[in-house]
Amino acid sequence: MHEVTATEARARWAELLRRVECGETVAITRHGETVAHMVPAGRWRAVDRFRRRRDSWEPAGMSTGEILRARHCGHRF
């Protein structure tokens, strides 16, 4: 993943867009914190399909703590 500041992104927009068209993801930062990602459209559609599918799932019927404990069940630390 390529990382640029917001100022660089504004100045190099066309170049960054070409990189994204070629399949690369670009992270845009402000004051050292990532504020946005530029991702190829195909990747975004895949994420959107997953979110729509996830919304149709039945609730687990467990709290977050119970899910985490079940996930670690049998692990030795």
Domain total of the chain = 1
Residue 35 lies in a domain: yes
Q: How big, in percent rounded to 5, are the helix, strand and coil portions of the chain?
A: 50, 20, 30
Mind listing the pLDDT tens digit for each residue in 41-59? 887 788 888 889 988 888 8
Structural domain boundaries, residue 18: 2-72
pLDDT band at 71 (very low <50, low <70, confident <90, very high): confident
CATH of the domain at 36: 3.40.1620.10
Residue 30 lies in a domain: yes
Mind listing the pLDDT tens digit for each residue in 2-42? 999 999 999 999 999 999 999 999 999 999 999 999 998 88
pLDDT band at 75 (very low <50, low <70, confident <90, very high): low
Residue 77 lies in a domain: no
Residue 54 confidence (pLDDT) = 86
Query: What does the alpha-carbon distance between residue 33 and residue 22 come to, in Å, rounded to a whole number?
Result: 25
Q: At a CB cut-off of 8 Å and minimum separation 6, what does 32 contact?
A: none
